[in-house]
């Protein structure tokens, strides 16, 4: 006979079903009832039997943790970036996949491309027939206005005329194939077209000694000595690359402080980020408002103080202005945590505080160049928001404030590319100058890469170095944190233009800036396209905005001293009551004026300065702690 089972403990009684609010009596009871411990085999425990098994084998969590996998990924991307010039392979792969998938699903465009290919072959055949009868016949396709690879007389002779015409027709066909494919993302469309053009330019007939008539002619006339000189140049450049030097670096011809950056002055303030240079006045009387120049930290400041004949600093000093210049430190891995706030606080604001110590109560004409102009804009917006009215005017040289149409540089700035660059900077603590220069050279690869290789290595003709080229070789680095914040918030997020960029936890808006604004853009700028710079007319709510468009590029257009040949500019001013004019209409209607734009800007500065001039200020104020520390150009500019 089975023995009846004994009653076990009541599990439900050991688990409270509701929370009881203690009463005064229960609190006063010195011997409260002791609740029994829950059973080890409660329903909750049974639901967690799997976790108990994991704990038993010590695998309840990843053995790698959360940081090791991320570190491995960053290391892989950082090393990969060194071989891809910082360009993410994922960006290229996704762009080409998007294009190929949509092209594969577009039989109509495929048929059109086949038709275009046949038509181009017929055009080339007709041109070959006609040119055999008349060598002076017009080509069937003309190079783009900026393409000067085929300007030589040798390209008009058979068979080189057919070779370069065939290349241009092929290039045009690929442009048709890689653009305007229905359904392709606009940015991917531009990436595919850009990269395909770079590949085609690599195989241009002008780059080969067998298909370039100029190289063949030089080889025949010189008995191959051009190739000997080219080989010597190539080996010298390889030696520089192995030594970690720039190819266009020349340490003897243009020395900072001896040949360039020679305007007299003193470093009157220094912190861990900047040296502030005050230039020696040359006039008995000067304008009351000083000028503070904020250069980009991607470059050395002395682009605005090159040789004496083309130094903007010297020009302003001779015109009776008191000029202050920021000279940025060249950051190392130890400066990896410097951010945009540091550049604003310890850079622009620290310089303004030092100027206020020397010239109390004086307003300042502020000038920003390139990234320095973007930094100056957000600083001016934050000052206006906080009621700080020390800025008399704001001048921006080739500086963007809206990055929605930032040109071809914007093609590779997306989440994938920024993360790839961040991994590279995370590994080394900064973005190296060579990695930045490579991206800029790709934008003008015909002029900056392939033409140079042809002249240096195949024709054996070294281009003579000038002061601007020497400055361009004297690059700086950018800290990891700062460049990451700049790319994410200002470039990719476009937060400055949309009013989402925050300074001290609060958003800033360009519309808060009411000081007069003078903006300079250059026609051939591949870094800050002038139509993008023009957007300041949409963003600013200042009493007066003057826009000036000058000939030249990002650097040569700014270094445009009076007397410089082939220079011209257009300039117009608008008030807050005037209607907006789109950039193309503006360019078509504003008359061109010959010569340098410097005098026009200097006249504008005088117009916004006090009427009566004053005595020059002292070089620093020793009694207030601002001693002349050393002569210009200072020490930070010499850092490599």
Which active-site residues does the annotation give? 370
Q: How far is CA 389 from CA 299, 341, 521, 539, in A?
A: 29, 20, 26, 19
Alpha helices for 477-597 (secondary structure H): 480-485, 495-498, 530-533, 536-539, 583-589
Work out the number of other CB atoms within 10 angstroms of the CB of residue 538: 12
Are the beta carbons of 149 and 143 closer than 8 angstroms? Answer: yes
Q: How far is CA 103 from CA 169, 181, 189, 196, 419, in A?
A: 21, 7, 11, 15, 29
- Sign for the pseudo-dihedral over CA of 479, 481, 486, 487: positive
Q: How many CA atoms lie within 13 A of 258 on its CB side?
A: 6
> Of 536, 407, 555, 432, nearest to 483 (Cα)?
432
Q: How many CA atoms lie within 13 A of 356 on its CB side?
A: 12
**Cα(403)–Cα(346) distance, rounded to whole angstroms?**
25
Q: In the structure encoding, which two tokens stand for residue 561, read together?
A: 């001293």
Work out the number of other CB atoms within 10 angstroms of the CB of residue 21: 6
- Sign for the pseudo-dihedral over CA of 408, 411, 412, 413: positive
Q: In which region does residue 396 sit, left (phi positive, over 0), alpha (psi from -120 to 50) or beta (all else)?
A: beta
Q: In the structure encoding, which two tokens stand for residue 614, read together?
A: 């004053």
Residue 139 phi/psi, 5-degree rounding, is -65, 160
Q: Are strands 568-575 and 593-594 parallel, antiparallel or unpaired?
A: antiparallel
What is the DSSP code string of 26-75? HHH-SSPPPPPPPPTT-HHHHHTHHHHHHHHTT-SS-SSTTHHHHHHHHH
Are the beta carbons of 594 and 508 closer than 8 angstroms? Answer: no
Q: In the structure encoding, which two tokens stand for residue 536, read together?
A: 């300041």
Q: What Rg, from alpha-carbon coordinates, does the chain have?
A: 33
């Amino acid at each position: 006979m089975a023995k009846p089972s004994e009653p076990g403990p009541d599990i439900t009684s050991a688990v409270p079903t509701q929370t009881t609010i203690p009463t005064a009596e229960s609190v006063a009871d010195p011997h409260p009832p002791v609740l029994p411990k829950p059973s080890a085999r409660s329903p909750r425990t049974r639901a967690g039997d799997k976790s108990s098994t994991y704990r038993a084998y010590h695998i309840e969590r990843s053995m790698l943790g959360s940081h090791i996998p991320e570190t491995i990924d960053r290391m892989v991307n950082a090393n990969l970036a060194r071989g891809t010039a910082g360009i993410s392979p994922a960006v290229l792969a996704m762009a080409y996949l998007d294009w190929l998938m949509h092209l594969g699903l577009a039989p109509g465009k495929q048929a059109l491309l086949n038709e275009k290919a046949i038509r181009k072959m017929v055009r080339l055949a007709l041109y070959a027939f006609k040119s055999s009868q008349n060598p002076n016949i017009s080509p069937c396709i003309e190079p783009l206005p900026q393409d000067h690879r085929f300007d030589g007389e040798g390209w008009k002779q058979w068979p080189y005329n057919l070779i370069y015409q065939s290349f241009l027709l092929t290039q045009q066909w690929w442009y048709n194939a890689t653009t305007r494919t229905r359904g392709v993302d606009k940015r991917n469309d531009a990436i595919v077209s850009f990269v395909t053009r770079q590949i085609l330019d690599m195989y241009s007939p002008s780059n080969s000694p067998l298909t370039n008539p100029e190289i063949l002619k030089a080889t025949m006339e010189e008995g191959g000595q051009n190739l000997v000189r080219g080989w010597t140049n190539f080996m010298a450049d390889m030696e520089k690359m192995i030594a970690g030097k720039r190819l266009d670096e020349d340490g003897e011809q243009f020395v900072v402080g001896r040949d360039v950056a020679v305007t007299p002055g003193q470093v009157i303030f220094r912190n861990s980020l900047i040296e502030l240079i005050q230039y020696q006045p040359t006039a008995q009387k000067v304008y009351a408002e000083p000028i503070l120049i904020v250069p980009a930290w991607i470059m050395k400041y002395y682009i605005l103080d090159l040789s004496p004949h083309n130094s903007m600093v010297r020009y302003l000093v001779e015109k009776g202005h008191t000029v202050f210049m920021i000279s940025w430190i060249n950051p190392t891995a130890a400066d990896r945590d410097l951010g945009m706030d540091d550049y604003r606080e310890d850079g622009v604001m620290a310089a303004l505080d030092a100027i206020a110590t020397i010239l109390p109560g004086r307003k300042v004409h502020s000038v920003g160049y390139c990234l320095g102009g973007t930094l100056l804009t957000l600083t001016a917006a934050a000052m206006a928001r906080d009621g700080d009215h020390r800025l008399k005017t704001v001048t921006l040289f080739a500086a963007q404030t809206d990055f929605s149409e930032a040109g071809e540089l914007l093609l590779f700035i997306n989440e994938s590319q920024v993360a790839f660059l961040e991994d590279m900077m995370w590994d080394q603590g900064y973005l190296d100058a060579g990695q930045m220069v490579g991206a800029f050279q790709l934008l003008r690869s015909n002029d900056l890469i392939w033409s140079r290789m042809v002249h240096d290595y195949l024709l054996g003709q070294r281009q003579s170095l000038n002061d601007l080229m020497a400055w361009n070789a004297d690059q700086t680095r950018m800290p990891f944190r700062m460049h990451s914040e700049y790319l994410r918030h200002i470039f990719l997020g476009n937060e400055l233009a949309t009013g989402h960029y925050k300074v001290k936890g609060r958003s800033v808006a360009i519309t808060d800036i009411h000081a007069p604004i003078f903006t300079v853009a250059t026609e051939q700028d591949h870094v800050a396209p002038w139509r993008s710079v023009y957007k300041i007319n949409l963003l600013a709510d200042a009493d007066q905005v003057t826009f000036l468009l000058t000939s030249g590029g990002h650097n040569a257009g700014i270094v445009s001293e009076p007397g410089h040949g082939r220079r011209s500019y257009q300039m117009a001013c608008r008030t807050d009551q005037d209607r907006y004019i789109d950039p193309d209409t503006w360019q078509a209607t504003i008359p061109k004026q010959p010569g340098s734009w410097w005098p026009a800007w200097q006249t504008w500065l005088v117009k916004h300065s006090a009427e009566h001039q004053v005595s020059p200020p002292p070089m620093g104020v020793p009694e207030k702690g601002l001693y002349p520390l050393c002569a210009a150009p200072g020490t930070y500019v010499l850092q490599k």
